[in-house]
Amino acid sequence: MFKWFRELDRDGRRTFWACYGGYALDAMDVQIYSFILPVLVLAWGMSNTEAGLVATVTLVLSAVGGWIAGVMSDRIGRVLTLQITIAWFATFTFLCGLTTSFEGLLVTRGLQGLGFGGEWAAGSVLIGEVVAARHRGKAVGFVQSSWAVGWGAAAVLATLFLTFLPEAYAWRALFFVGLLPALAVFFVRRYVPEPAVYVNAKARPSIGAIFSPRFRSVTARGCLLAVGAHGGFYAITTWLPAFLRQERQLSILSTGTYLAVIIVGSLVGYLVSAYLNDGVGRRKTFLVFAFGSLAIVLTYTQIPVSNEMMLVLGFPLGFFASGIFSGMGPLFTELFPTELRGSGQGFCYNSGRGLAAFFPAVVGLASAYIPLGQAIGLFASGAYGLVIVAAFMLPETKGRELESLALAKVEPVP
């Protein structure tokens, strides 16, 4: 099962753990906000609109940060860019703990988003370039699964801090803990080398090369895939709890047990998807998880469920909605040549995230005219429909060896 890991040399294993740890800590810093939010709403009198604006600005700026970091990783190296992004998001998470108003939090949290998006771009390219083609889906998928680990760590820390510390101090302490990921920079700096495939690539094309006639079709299709996956995820995770609590009067949503089931489902989904990507291919895996996500959201919104059934359904919700992301890193790594890999991967994944940040707002607007459950089902179904369309439009890249710019073959639309 872990043959792929045993085949990595010492530098490869260090690279894996650097990327895995960096993304887990990234997730921890990002997810802390969701646990702190109820405290800040009460303490500062923040409106739901203001609270949502902070989240949206963070996601939109993460798209900008992802592209910037992708370009940087092509220009100054994957490893140095990874160090910069980890230090960046850790520093601004810490500064969030010093804020005293909505406006201050909006600025610091937004700037944190630049590093949040950038870390994925640098780390995903880095791990994708050090593993063999036949194992790339598993290795990159395992790194993606660290998001669930970081999410779980944020949940545990929030529970402990909010239980044993006064709320006035607990939320600040949680943000202060977000500085710890900066320690990972020292590990990365000392032990992680640049991938040989990057070092051997000499060309440094223009920043806009991914939009040139040769690559813009691939870039557009990659963005479509990312918009769909992120849009469905945000539509579900943002509004589904409110729908089930307000319209179905379910109480299980407020328990840690329900959250734990979703997080475990997410972790398992990431890992299963990682193996499927190398087993049956990128395209088939995207289709399986897109249809699975469609089925679960329609079950939630169209069929009456009890508290007990909610607990059971939490696992497939996390499994399908999160597992779909494991294939994106491997696919984007293989779609673009080495000289453009960071730019292409960073732009596609994070522009999808930035555009998808508006899905929750659109669902909210639509709920003024149709029931909330229908609005969630409509837009989540539309989002996963985009994933299905993009999966058929993109080439199957399973097992593809990485190419330089001179040798890169741009696949025509099937």
Q: What is the pLDDT of residues 111-124, one digit of tens each?
A: 998 888 888 888 99
> What does the pLDDT look like over 248-266, one tens digit per residue?
666 655 667 777 888 899 9
- Domains detected in the chain: 1-192 (1.20.1250.20), 207-402 (1.20.1250.20)
Q: Is the pTM of this model over 0.85?
A: yes
Q: Which position has the higher pLDDT, 331 or 313?
A: 331
- Average pLDDT for residues 98-125, to the nearest whole number? 89
Q: Which position has the higher pLDDT, 406 or 50?
A: 50
- Average pLDDT for residues 148-174, to the nearest whole number? 90
pLDDT at 315: 92
pLDDT at 258: 76
Q: Check whether 413 has a pLDDT greater than 50.
A: no
pLDDT at 277: 94
How far is the C-alpha of 324 from the C-alpha of 21, rounded, in Å? 21
User: Whose structure tokens read 């779980």?
Assistant: 152
How far is the C-alpha of 382 from the C-alpha of 389, rounded, in Å? 11
Q: Check whether 62 has a pLDDT greater than 60.
A: yes
Q: What is the mean pLDDT of the chain?
A: 86
> What does the pLDDT look like over 376-400, one tens digit per residue?
888 888 999 999 999 999 999 999 9
> What does the pLDDT look like over 320-356, one tens digit per residue?
999 999 999 999 999 999 889 999 999 999 888 888 8
3-class state of residue 51 by DSSP: helix
Q: Using an 8 Å Cβ cutoff, are 175 and 157 in contact?
A: no
Q: Using an 8 Å Cβ cutoff, are 380 and 300 in contact?
A: no
pLDDT at 411: 58
CA 192 to chain centre: 23
Q: Is 57 exposed, middle or buried (0-12, 13-18, 19+ CB in 10 A)?
A: middle
Q: Is 358 exposed, middle or buried (0-12, 13-18, 19+ CB in 10 A)?
A: middle
Give the Cα-Cα-Cα angle 282, 82, 149 (nearest 5 degrees).
60
pLDDT at 254: 61
pLDDT at 414: 45
Q: Check whether 303 has a pLDDT greater than 90.
A: no
Provide the percentage of residues in the chain whose pLDDT is more than 90: 40
- Average pLDDT for residues 230-244, to the nearest whole number? 77
- Average pLDDT for residues 215-232, to the nearest whole number? 93
- Average pLDDT for residues 131-147, to the nearest whole number? 93
